[in-house]
Each structure stands twice: as structure tokens, then as C-alpha cells.
Amino acid sequence: MEQRILGRTGRSVGVIGLGAWQLGADWGDVAEDDALAVLGAAVDAGVTFIDTADVYGDGRSERLIGRFLREGGAGRGLTVATKMGRRVPQTVDAYRLDAFRAWNDRSRQNLGVDTLDLVQLHCPPTAVYGADAVFDALDTMVEEKRIAAYGVSVETCDEALTAIARPNVASVQIILNALRLKPLERVLPAAAAAGVAIIARVPLASGLLSGRYDENTVFGSDDHRNYNRHGEAFDVGETFSGVDFGTGLAAVRRLAPLVPDGATTAQFALRWIVDQPGVSVVIPGARNAAQAQANAAAATLAPLPEPALATVTEIYDELIRPQVHHRW
């Protein structure tokens, strides 16, 4: 798999990684064996970057990754990024050194490591990005060797730009996909210029860009694609990228003719992100081993031709931009 440098961490990672939210909760039940099979299939297919969070299944995702590391994964050159901050009410005051240490102890225990490779603030309140004390505390965490590096997972492009301007932010995780183009305007160029990693999340728009859903698709009551459609539980941008389901289906139908022979719609969607200058790693979530394997294989597709890239922008401008561009 193509390797890229993960920003200021200096680490090299395969350009397709794995998002491990599905191994926690909020996507319906993923049994423990299936979760371990997802990790195994991804790593066998060349994935070396795994994204998780302390809040996914209240630690289940981290603990499963910890088990995978203990049972042989540790020797396979992996970079595991976790997140912290969303297990408490969201105030700037909650983002303090003593809290960071406590959250860090829990994640290190869950993952079974002394030093976490990369810890990201998990979509904190916007004011956190302007708080020097928060970033001083993160620097202390690095000095204490609790974490090797830190980054942020952001909701908006403005938050990303503020974070990129800070000297020791190693990575920015942001929603970027064929239905979310705004980061291409300023965030990706700024990150590239500063040497900050871009971790592209929700690359399949929560599965919409797999082309598998239609108007009759029903998601379970324990799946955020059912219970968070209108932002009832968390930022609606995290569910279908904030695109109304019907509009998303219409856009994906128009993208279908662009899919190269021999590739799936999901692989096309992932390749589109890989082709964007400034992207370090793309982190599709997978519910089973077959999805993880197919996603990793998207890295081997040829770069998409210019007319296909232009058509993606055209479809975005026409159908999607009015819904999302001003929001995130």
C-alpha cells in the first residue's frame, strides 16, 4: 500500500487506515469475533493506521484493539490513534491537565501500551482551540511520555485552521468525502504547508457512498443512522456527512457512472479522497472483514481521471453544497 507521512508525528502509515467506531457502538451490534476479524483483515491487507476513541462503546473499541495488539498485532508496525474528551460534559474547563492524565491512564490501560502513538481532542467546544492552557497541557503530556504526539478531531474548517496554526498539533481529523468538499478550499493547503497530517474521516458518508442503500433501507434503532438523522445525539454532520438521506441517494446515483471498471462505488469514493493533495490517511469504518479488505484495496486503484474529479465537484455544487457548505 502507498505510504504517507503522518504530519508532524513523522510516522509513515498506509494511506488507507481503519476507523474503529464500529467496534465500539452506535452502528448496531458488531460481535467481538467480527471486530477482531475486521482488525485482522485490515492489517493483513496493509492497513497500519487505526483510529479509535475512549468513548466508542465506552472503551470497548480501545479494549478490542488492545487485545488485537496483545495477540500479535503489536509487532506489525501499527500506529493507533485514540481520542479523548467526550466522556464528560463539554466545557472548556473540562480540558485540564489532571483530566487529561486520568483519561490517558484509562486509554493506556485499554490499549495495553505505555505511550499512546497519537491522541486527538475529540471535537471539543470551539473555544478550546483558542485556549493556550489546553495546548500547554498537551505539551506536558508529551514531555511525560504519556503520548508521543497529539492532534485534534474537528467539526469545522475554521477550527481546523486555528489548530493548524498551533506549533505542536501533529494532525487534524476532518470529514472529507465526495459529499463534503469544503476542506479542499483552505484546510488541506494550510495543513500541507504546515506539515500537519490530514486524517480524512467519514469517507463513505456513513456508508451512503457505498451505493448500497435506497429509499427502503432501514437502520436499526441502535444505529446512529437511525437515531441521529437530525442531530438528536451528536453533531448531525457525523451522520451521512450532514446530508439529507434522500439527497445523498440522488447524488450517489449520479456518481455511479464514474466508478472505474472492476471497482466498487465505495472504492471509487475512497480513491477520490486519496487523490486529494494534502491527505495523509483515509479512515473508513468497517463492520466486517470483507469491508475492511475491500477498503484497503482502494489504495491500489489508479488515480481517477480529471473529468471524473470535475464531475464530483459538479454534483456537489448542484445537490450538496446548499445543504452543507456553510455549516462545517
Ligand X SMILES: NC(=O)c1ccc[n+]([C@@H]2O[C@H](COP(=O)([O-])OP(=O)(O)OC[C@H]3O[C@@H](n4cnc5c(N)ncnc54)[C@H](OP(=O)(O)O)[C@@H]3O)[C@@H](O)[C@H]2O)c1
Interface contacts to ligand X, rule CB under 6 A: 19-22, 27, 51, 83, 122-123, 153, 173, 201-207, 210, 212, 238, 266, 283-287, 291, 294-295
Cβ proximity to ligand X, 280 vs 291, nearer residue? 291
Least Å from the CB of residue 245 to ligand X: 13
Rounded (10°) angle between helices 157-164 and 187-194 = 10
> Cell numbers at residue 252, please?
450517489
Distance between the two ends of the chain, CA-based, in angstroms? 31
Least Å from the CB of residue 248 to ligand X: 11
Least Å from the CB of residue 272 to ligand X: 13
Cβ proximity to ligand X, 82 vs 307, nearer residue? 82
Cβ proximity to ligand X, 18 vs 304, nearer residue? 18
Cβ proximity to ligand X, 187 vs 266, nearer residue? 266
Nearest one of 196, 197, 152, 202 to 175, comparing CA atoms: 202
Query: Coil, strand, or helix at residue 311?
Result: helix
Residue 247 CB partners (closer than 8 Å, separation 6+): 319, 320, 323
Least Å from the CB of residue 143 to ligand X: 25
Least Å from the CB of residue 144 to ligand X: 24
Cβ proximity to ligand X, 91 vs 193, nearer residue? 91
> Cell numbers at residue 73, please?
498485532
What is the tally of helices (H) and strands (E) in the chain?
Answer: 12, 10
